[in-house]
Structure 1
Amino acid sequence: MNRRNLITAIIEIIVIITGVIVYATHFVVSAQPIPAGKFIKISNVDLAPKGKVIIVEQSWYGCPVGAAASWAIYDVLQHYGNLSYKLWYSDPYRTPANIPGLLFTNFTSNSIVDFYIAYVYNEYLNASYNGTPIPQNELVSVGEQIIKEEYTQMDLPSQVAQYIIQYETQVPIQQYGEPSAFYGKPSHLNFAILISGPNGTYIVTTPIVNRLSLHFHFNHFIFNRD
């Protein structure tokens, strides 16, 4: 390669890298805020196996939001399969403290619905779900790696973890002014439910504990009926 061609190649590489950086920066900065407590459609793509609907939850053992939401989730999912669970309480050192809830341990489907859940952190938000210590300033980054690994082991498409991470860490919540992962202190992956089926993919990353609201979203968005 002569000098002129080498310079041209270097310039082209720089232009490509610059374009990627500008695109990534624009994506994060221009992310439109989403409302709290509501499912939003994020893609027309169906991430579920053919003829199925997947409901994917992300939470952590001590999550007060997850504890409160677990009752509504159970009330809805019991119509689509058999749920195994343990009675549990949220982190006693956070406000609100000691919220009673259900830790889901297994789901056996008897319908078109498949349910998956990944608990990222322990009860006290200082370690992973299996007890590996996590420094407070690494809770988000380590949590991202955990859900990628967990959902991969569940044979879920990689887009599931990508969407949950994206909408918890990059997309602001209208009522919070920042993404849900950075609303509480220390920053951490908080809570999310992703639903995907023939009508596309939907997500919520903030509290949704109303049974009727969950029923509505499942029927309207997934089964295409009210």
Structure 2
Amino acid sequence: MPLQAIVFDLDGVLIDSEPVWEDVRRAYVADLGGRWLPDTQERLMGMSTDEWAEYIASDLVEGVSAEDVAYEVIDRMSQRYAEHLPVLPGAREAVRRMAEIRRLGLASSSPRALIDIVLGRLGVESLFPATVSTEEVDRGKPAPDGYLMVAAQLGVPAEDCVAIEDSSNGLRSAHAAGMRVIAIPRPAHPPAPDALALAAHVADGLDDLTAEVVHKVAK
């Protein structure tokens, strides 16, 4: 494949945000007297804003709308990021290293407001000519919509992109879009074996994301 672009996920790849998301949403559900189910966190990973807000409003708590859920949770997340941004080791360096190779895109399940906050605080927003939140497409991950939109914004075929992902739904999403995928699994939320098998390469961390690895995957 002719490598034309590299597309990052955000949560779990550049920032260790899944524990923050879980903490914030658990607290929100508890504050409203709701119930947190054993598979809730796994189900929420990769959902778009509309999808997870609707799930919480309909399955976990009573008496609130999906719009209320989304507004309150995103506001709490913004406050947490203002206090501390959980940047993963080597995140800034990996983005800058990849930007020297090809154009970059980002396909994230985070809402637009949080994407902009994170990229701005990382100081890498200018390195991403195309960013998509799954709230801006019809379906969240594992559907390929977000990755397909990023490729369209970049003006390149999805099959000429390499994606960087960590989660089961993210790996499935990028693969379904036709991209080659490099997996960087998070030990706290390891991807399912069948999802990990979709990856063309599994890296131990962002420091392992090198030009050599990306070009090898793209062959």
| Structure (1 or 2) with the larger CA radius of gyration | 1
> TM-score with structure 1 length normalisation?
0.34
> TM-score with structure 2 length normalisation?
0.34
Larger proportion of strand: 1
Q: Which has the higher contact order (CA 8 A, sep 6+)?
A: 1
